[in-house]
Amino acid sequence: MRAMPSNTPMAATPAPAAAGGRWFPAGTHITIRGLTKRFAGAAVYENFDLDIPHGRITSVFGPNGCGKSTLINMIAGILPYDGGQILFEGKEARETRIGYVFQNYREAVFPWMRAIDNIRYPLQYLKLSKGEQAERLDRLMQAFDVKLDLNRYPYQMSGGQQQMVSIMRALVVDPEVLFLDEPFSALDYEMVMFLRERLQKVLVERKVTTMLVSHDLDEAVLLADHVLLLTKRPTQVADNLLFDAPRPRTADTTVTPRFIEVKSEALAIFQREVRK
């Protein structure tokens, strides 16, 4: 099943809603209008429009160099853009509680801090009592079924364990929006399966609006409610595919007719765009 075109809200309800005097399509969380970004004068995005639904997982997939990471970095407020507007239910990024998980976990974690202190670090910026902070940590560790010693330092942990620390650090603030930039690409398959399962559970239970950049089409389809397929530069939306398989999704999901159907359609769109 195809989702609606990029200039149409991905929500079922077409009526707009208001926040702070700004308007956005009802049912969406992130509204992008007229987004423009250039590098050395060359357009990566030109008058780009997109609506991301609230509480859903959207994966971003497209040709090499189309600007997948650039897109989520602009939305997250990490990278400036040259024109257009990005709103989170009518708010700016700076008014929104955001979590971000980078691909390179070795550069993301603080090597001089124990794992538990890495996870706890963002809480110092929230107005929480020590009891509330402890409660958040306990709830998160239970959700991830943590069995490793979090008093260890990153250099004493495997890559997968370090990335789990990065993911938990992003989630401990109870983000409104979570960005994941190829978070599993450098991990062994056993850890990938574990983190996919735990992350799905937390995101679905908390209804966190999530954008995942992936170069793995199976992963992009498996984890997502919507697969956002991009074109070559200047980048536009090639299609938005809905994947509505029940959760939790496991390796068994990848052999179901619905998964194969959506993956095949996504692959056909991707190949069409690459050949242009």
Residue 63 pairs in a beta bridge with: none
Structure-block tokens of residue 36 = 């423009």
Rg over alpha carbons for the chain, rounded to the nearest Å, is 19
Joined together, the tokens standing for residue 232 give 């070559």
The CATH T-level fold of domain 1-96+209-276 is Rossmann fold (3.40.50)
Give the pLDDT confidence of 66-97 residue by residue, as tens digits.
999 999 999 999 999 999 999 999 999 999 99
Give the Cα separation of 8 and 6 in Å (integer): 5
Residue 84 CA: distances (Å) to CA of 31, 35, 54: 11, 4, 21
Range(s) of the chain covered by CATH 3.40.50.300: 1-96+209-276
The reported pLDDT for the residue numbered 10 is: 41
- For strands 209-213 and 57-61, give the pairing: parallel
pLDDT at 11: 36
pLDDT value for 63: 97
Q: Which residue has the tokens 């991707």?
A: 270
Rounded mean pLDDT of the chain?
A: 90
Tokens 């409610």 correspond to what residue?
225
Model confidence, pTM: 0.90
Q: Are 72 and 181 in contact (CB under 8 A)?
A: yes
Smallest CA-to-CA distance from 6 within 34, 44, 26, 39 is with 34
Read off the pLDDT of residues 124-135 as tens digits, 9 standing for 90 and up: 999 899 999 999
Q: Which residue has the tokens 């402890």?
A: 134
What pLDDT is stored for residue 22 in this prediction? Answer: 53
pLDDT of residue 106: 85
pLDDT at residue 26, as a whole number:
73
Report the C-alpha dihedral over residues 209, 11, 224, 80, rounded to 10 degrees. -50
> Mean pLDDT per 10-residue run, the chain (276 residues)?
38 41 73 97 96 97 97 98 96 96 91 97 93 94 91 95 95 97 92 93 95 96 98 97 95 97 98 95
User: What does the pLDDT look like over 37-63, one tens digit per residue?
Assistant: 999 999 999 999 999 999 999 999 999
Q: What is the pLDDT of residue 8?
A: 37
**In one letter, which amino acid is 148?**
L
